Structure 1
Amino acid sequence: MTDPDTVVVKIGGARAVDPEGALANVASVREDGTDVVVVHGGSTAVDDALERMGVEPEYVETPSGVVGRFTDAETMDVFKMALAGQVNTDLVTGLRNQGVDAVGLSGVDGGLFTGPRKSAVRVVEDGTKKIRRGDHSGTIESVNGGLLSTLLSDGYTPVASPPMLADDGVAVNTDADRAAAAVAAELGGTLVSLTDVAGVYRDPDDPSTVIDRVDTPDAYEELRAAAEGFMGRKVMAATEALEGGAERVVVANANADAPIRSAIDGGGTDVLPSALE
């Protein structure tokens, strides 16, 4: 396959994801002349920090079946510390050790990620739909593509993460998969979403059932039906990326050999714009 001009690499925060292979692969992909932007979450780091502080993390399910973290004020403080501090610094350090001139950014820096704050979230608890208030989260409506383009043109590799800057001037949580999708859409690039499995499986318990190519509306409906739990969020992000102008989205295994190159060359679940036509 033809190499893209820009690759947005989403590095998942699950405990089973080892980022070292991806960081080494960023260096080689850049040497091939491709610009790279790294976007990361940090669910494990946040959970570990909450545990050390004696705070129980809370996950909620939306009516559409997507599972996400409920972020109250206390969790938000831990979130900022863990992501913008620990995880981002560790990834930038790892990239610089690979010879990549990486620059760490939160979504607040330069107004990288901006949008409205959610006044409440709809959740499902014990089969009942409810409204939860007090959530410190928001939805990205704008990405400062000029900032990213300036860094890329100067030879830097941006490493970005939530939080985002809400329209009321408060730093709030936002989904890292959807943040990566927004960046890929803004830059018109390829989104490589690295996670702890080899792609989206038709049978979640059987890796041999990975869906390898999604290029028709029927294949897209099969993809949506197969995506459960956290994978549902990745499919939502893939949809948003392609609708916004990304070239393609690949959900692939972060622990594969040369995971970014493998994804670009057809590994994982490859979702193309024709699937949404």
Structure 2
Amino acid sequence: MTAERTPPSQVAHVLTEALPYIRRFHGRTVVVKYGGNAMVDDELKRGFARDVVLMKLVGINPVVVHGGGPQIGNVLDRIGKESEFVQGMRVTDAETMDVVEMVLGGLVNKEIVSLINTQGGRAVGLSGKDGGLIKARRLQLTRPGPAEQAPEIIDIGHVGEVTGVDPALMSLLDGADFIPVVAPIGVDEEGVSYNINADLVAGHLAQTLGAEKLILMTNTPGLLDGDGQLLTGLDAGRVQQLIDDGTIHGGMLPKVSCALEAVTHGAGAATIIDGRVPHAVLLELFTDSGVGTLIHGAAAGG
């Protein structure tokens, strides 16, 4: 049975629609946080790898940052170590941190590198420890104490926050036509390793590298209003309104905050997209309609 061919006129329309965006992004950096279903479904994984290779071939400098929470949980289950979460963050003792480094810096990172290279790219796997890429410190969580007492400090171990990014290694790799694939592990001044939220790492990289766009892949269409309609073209003022009225809440709140922080401090724009859609990254970059929720700085226009 012969596969149905796309009409040549439709192919021409797609290519001409993509041309101005290829011109706009040529020579610029795009940071993609890769996660969710797109990291699990085999066809979506191959499609993502092809998208990244195509970006590089048309002159864009993609930087991939990946998560791996479910994979870490699976390995911990296999060794009989129970996962514990506080305020949505995994409590990470020294033994758990060893597993995190093995899974994120090893298994997951190298699988993504292999996928991209199989599709014709030249990917290089890194963690934030390589070349001093991601500086970190221990993240301190607090919860309110009894009346008139200071908040209680909660120790969740080797969970960190980004204190700085050294762009030298990224510049070197981009200049040599490599595609960096970054595991979200940072290190402090004493050499202690920390597990860091991948959205936060992607956001800080986008800021430091002056990325044209930050793309956060999720398992939702984007940010929806109370009627289930997709919201887009948001600036800081509109985001704050949506937080105040409860539209942005739960797990979407840190993603939107990360995107807004990035565009406020150096990135051109940020988009939260649905990684369950085949070739979602290309649709966002190279089509007039795009996909997902676009967040821009106050001066970026509509």
TM-score range, shorter chain: 0.7 to 0.9
Closer, same or farther: CA 112–230 of 1 in aligned 2, 3 Å: same
1:153 alignment partner, one of 175, 187, 208: 175
Query: Unpaired segments of 5 or more residues in structure 1?
Result: 62-66
Q: Which runs of 4+ in 1 moved over 6 A?
A: none
Closer, same or farther: CA 223–108 of 1 in aligned 2, 3 Å: same
For structure 1, which segment, 229-238 or 217-226, has the greater mean C-alpha deviation from structure 2 after superposition? 217-226
The aligned counterpart of 1:42 is 68
1:198 alignment partner, one of 205, 221, 246: 221
The aligned counterpart of 1:222 is 242
Question: 2:94 matched to 1:70?
Answer: no
* 1:14 positional shift: 5.7
What are the superposed Cα offsets for residues 200-246 of structure 1, whole Å, 9 maximum, x if unpaired?
Answer: 2224xx7x422122136124531674333322221121122112200
Aligned amino acid, residue 198 of structure 1 = P
Closer, same or farther: CA 124–199 of 1 in aligned 2, 3 Å: farther
Report the TM-score, using the length of structure 1 for normalisation. Answer: 0.87
The aligned counterpart of 2:119 is 98
Paired residues in the alignment total 265
Query: Unpaired segments of 5 or more residues in structure 2?
Result: 1-19, 146-150
Q: Secondary structure at the match of 1:257?
A: coil
Identity %: 34
RMSD: 2.4
Contact map agreement 1:12 1:195 (CA 8 A) in 2:
yes
Question: 2:38 matched to 1:12?
Answer: no
Contact map agreement 1:17 1:196 (CA 8 A) in 2:
no
For structure 1, which segment, 27-36 or 103-112, has the greater mean C-alpha deviation from structure 2 after superposition? 27-36
**CA distance in structure 1 between the partners assigned to 2:39 and 2:221 by the alignment:** 12
Contact map agreement 2:38 2:276 (CA 8 A) in 1:
no
Q: Secondary structure at the match of 1:44?
A: helix
* 1:263 positional shift: 2.0
The aligned runs of 1:1-277 (5 Å cut-off) are 2=21, 3-4=24-25, 5-13=28-36, 18=41, 19-61=45-87, 67-118=88-139, 120-123=140-143, 130-189=152-211, 190-203=213-226, 208-215=228-235, 217-222=237-242, 225-264=246-285, 265=287, 266-274=290-298
Larger radius of gyration between Structure 1 and Structure 2:
2
**CA distance in structure 1 between the partners assigned to 2:249 and 2:201 by the alignment:** 20
**CA distance in structure 2 between the partners assigned to 1:89 and 1:131 by the alignment:** 36
Give the number of the structure with larger relative contact order, counting CA–CA contacts within 8 Å between residues 6 or more apart. Answer: 1
